[in-house]
Amino acid sequence: MSAGLVALALPLPAALASSDSFYLKGDGVPTASLSPSAPQQGELPNFDPSRDEMPGLLIRRSNRGLAETDSRKHQLWLGPSTGIDLEGSVSLTFWSALKEFENAKRGAVGAYLLDCASTGADCVLIASGSATADPWGDDGGDWIARTIGFGSVDYSVPPGRSLAVKVVVAVRSEGDMWFAYDTTSHPSRLSVQIAPVETTTTLGTTTTTPPPATTTSSTTTTSSVATTTTLAPPGSLEPPADSGAPADLIDKALTPLPDPQVESRLIDEGLSGSLLGALELVMSPEVANALVSPLLTLEAFVGALTDTGSAMLAPGVFLLVGSAWVLSESRREARGVAARRRDEESRPR
């Protein structure tokens, strides 16, 4: 049997979600922007001179939370309207103080992660969290750094809309609060995990496919001193009591493949399909199909269990097993053909 060229299409190892930060900018009240660019200025400006003469931003207490619309009682930061796929932990780190730096009092801040129109209207809640501390910090006239966690977030903000964060001071705080941001010493920011991009390499050519958009989200609201967690993970399939894998995957793996379209898909996508293409160069399609059929069944079974559509989890193992199988079956087929030819030649003419 002559060797044939086997073309392989192998997925690269799964990419990890990438981290990114969007910094709170001081370019508007009560709506400003989130920017991927870190702050450059060193001195903290007075972002709201109409409210007081002190540096930073004053936000008064509110009992309305997300529904607050009074410009003195909330601040909204909007990200770029290019869309973003979130997959992983999201948190807000900010610097603040009780008004007049009376940090020996109790402070309480609520934060809301939102999907908004580019104007800041029509917002959808993705997740929420809060931070409460009594006292808020040392009563020494310093800004206090705190982080509110939104938990693990799996959500896609579509192009044309913006990822946003809204901040309020809860009514249980013992005073109004100041906020510092957009300076090198107070780089308040929203930290996110962005969904990975799947990459497949075929014969030296790299194809990049973005992950599918997520169409649903869930939110929860929690309250804690330091960090809050939201967005419970999506539910998983319940396995049967006598099995370690979901029943529908086992059924799919063990179901025969009488449908030619299903078999054709496995041939086009799997490693066994590549072996089949090489065999058809040196023998008839019928014989090649007979040799590779057991590999197709094995590949479909592993592909179903790993939910990859093919047995690419261990391509080296399949290549080794497949090559040994093909070589053995090819030798057996060759012996059969030779025997038939000898029988035909020995028959009287």
* pLDDT on residue 10: 42
* pLDDT on residue 140: 77
Q: What is the pTM of this model?
A: 0.55
Dihedral sign of CA atoms 284, 289, 295, 296 in order: positive
* pLDDT on residue 291: 63
* pLDDT on residue 194: 94
The whole-angstrom distance between residue 305's C-alpha and the CA centroid of its chain comes to: 21
Residues in the chain: 349
Question: For 205-222, what is each residue's pLDDT tens digit?
Answer: 444 555 554 433 333 333
Domains of the chain and CATH, by start? 18-209 (2.60.120.260), 239-346 (no CATH)
Question: For 227-260, what is each residue's pLDDT tens digit?
Answer: 333 333 333 333 333 334 444 433 443 334 344 3
CA atoms within 13 A on the CB side of 348: 0
Q: Which residues are within 8 A (CB) of 109 and not within 5 positions of it... i.e. 6 or more apart?
A: 94, 96, 130, 131, 132, 146, 148, 167, 168, 169, 170, 173, 177
Task: Give every residue of the chain whose pLDDT is below 50, as ranges.
Answer: 1-15, 199-203, 205-207, 213-274, 300, 302-315, 317
* pLDDT on residue 294: 62
* pLDDT on residue 11: 43
Question: For 169-201, what is each residue's pLDDT tens digit?
Answer: 999 999 999 999 999 999 999 999 999 865 444
Q: Which residues are within 8 A (CB) of 213 and not within 5 positions of it... i.e. 6 or more apart?
A: 85, 156, 158
* pLDDT on residue 202: 46
